[in-house]
């Protein structure tokens, strides 16, 4: 497929997402769907939420168009992506409106992942991984962790949409170099456009939040697309791990540290490294920009190196995760919240 087709896909998705996010914001203001500041949040003023609905709609339409009208995307991948992601987005939307129990959310997420792995038949294990039940369970748990990880990391302006754009853009670029199937590149670019339009309203200072509707959806779709991408020769599981290391290291260190202290991991908190930095610096923009810079200057070159030298890929992924994890640990990820008088909008 010509580059111009992907360019039009990105531009159309971005414009549609930007306009739809604006419409969702007006509805949220009209109906009082607001995220109210509290001692666990990282913002200080009521802000509309639920903007992730625009990402859900735009990506769904873009994927459906590639499947129904352009015959670019297989039925297996379409069902694996949409059937599960709509379940996740739906439970997220309900949670945005009425706080639901963690057990209910987790149950629906497990069903969604089961749909993608078992019912849809469009999601298989990475190349080189034995297709045993144990590996299937491990892969499912990894997707479940990443889904929730993305939700945990959506705590300051712009950071989750920025991360989704980076992972999607990097994956599309790498897959294009590897002559991957068009369906994967189409799906990744559709996600880039959907997130870029939303980010126009979510960039610091944010005028709307994506809410659980968007963060859970993004976590699920990215996890499924990454696993599907590992079927391409050269795009190994290690490359997929490298691309998500910035969020993965922060969230994992935070979770482990909190669990070691006996805290309930699913309870709301603001002890992630990015949250601690945002309070320390008094700025969401600086932290989101820092995470973006690390992705572009460190993570992307590491992924390129892992593709160029597959034998070194496990070491590259391990060193990168350990290094960023150490930084998160030093920043204080997972430590108890400290009272602060330096608040900001």
Residue 34 CA to residue 29 CA, distance in Å, equals: 7
Residue 188 CA to residue 184 CA, distance in Å, equals: 6
For residue 315, pLDDT over 90 is answered with yes
| Residue pLDDT, tens place only, 214-259 | 999 999 999 999 988 988 989 999 999 999 999 999 999 999 999 8
- Predicted confidence at residue 126, as pLDDT, reads 67
| Residue pLDDT, tens place only, 100-154 | 888 899 999 999 988 887 765 545 666 666 666 677 777 788 889 999 999 889 9
Q: With cut-offs at 50, 70 and 90, classify the pLDDT of residue 68.
A: confident
Query: What are the sequence ranges of the domains in the chain?
Result: 1-34+45-235, 238-336
What own/partner pairs with CB < 8 Å and gap ≥ 24 does 258-265 have?
258/334, 261/334, 261/336
CB 115 within 8 A of CB 84: yes
DSSP result, 270-318 = --SHHHHHHHHHT-HHHHHHHHHHHIIIIIHHHHHHHHH-GGGHHHHHH
- Predicted confidence at residue 176, as pLDDT, reads 94
Closest CA to 84 of 129, 117, 55: 117
Of 8-17, 186-195, 230-239, minimum mean pLDDT range: 230-239
Residue 263 CA to residue 344 CA, distance in Å, equals: 27
Residue 108 CA to residue 13 CA, distance in Å, equals: 28
What tokens does 232 get? 């391409």
Residue 189 CA to residue 208 CA, distance in Å, equals: 23
| Residue pLDDT, tens place only, 254-298 | 999 998 888 876 677 788 999 999 999 999 999 999 999 999 999
């Amino acid at each position: 497929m010509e580059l111009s087709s992907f360019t039009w896909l990105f531009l159309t998705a971005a414009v549609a997402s930007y306009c739809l996010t604006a419409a969702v914001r007006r509805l949220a203001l009209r109906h009082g769907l607001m995220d109210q500041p509290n001692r666990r949040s990282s913002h200080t003023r009521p802000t509309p939420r639920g903007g992730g609905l625009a990402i859900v709609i735009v990506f769904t339409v873009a994927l459906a168009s590639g499947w129904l009208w352009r015959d670019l995307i297989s039925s297996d991948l379409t069902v694996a992506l949409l059937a599960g992601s709509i379940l996740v987005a739906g439970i997220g939307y309900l949670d945005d409106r009425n706080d639901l129990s963690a057990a209910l959310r987790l149950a629906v997420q497990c069903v969604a992942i089961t749909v993608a792995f078992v019912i849809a038949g469009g999601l298989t294990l990475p190349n080189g991984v034995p297709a045993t039940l144990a590996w299937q369970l491990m892969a499912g748990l990894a997707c479940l962790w990443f889904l929730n990880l993305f939700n945990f990391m959506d705590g300051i302006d712009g950071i989750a949409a920025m991360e989704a754009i980076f992972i999607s853009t990097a994956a599309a670029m790498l897959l294009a170099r590897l002559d991957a199937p068009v369906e994967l590149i189409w799906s990744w670019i559709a996600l880039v456009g959907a997130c870029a339009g939303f980010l126009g309203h979510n960039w610091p200072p944010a005028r709307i939040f994506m809410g659980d509707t968007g963060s859970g959806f993004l976590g699920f779709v990215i996890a499924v697309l990454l696993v599907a991408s590992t079927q391409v020769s050269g795009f190994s599981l290690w490359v997929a791990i490298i691309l998500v290391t910035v969020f993965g290291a922060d969230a994992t260190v935070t979770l482990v540290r909190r669990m070691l202290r006996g805290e309930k991991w699913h309870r709301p908190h603001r002890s992630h490294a990015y949250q601690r930095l945002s309070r320390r610096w008094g700025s969401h923009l600086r932290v989101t920009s820092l995470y973006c810079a690390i992705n572009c200057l460190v993570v992307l070159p590491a992924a390129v190196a892992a593709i160029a030298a597959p034998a070194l890929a496990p070491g590259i992924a391990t060193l990168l995760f350990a290094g960023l994890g150490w930084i998160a640990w030093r920043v204080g990820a997972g430590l108890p919240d400290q009272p602060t008088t330096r608040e900001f909008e």
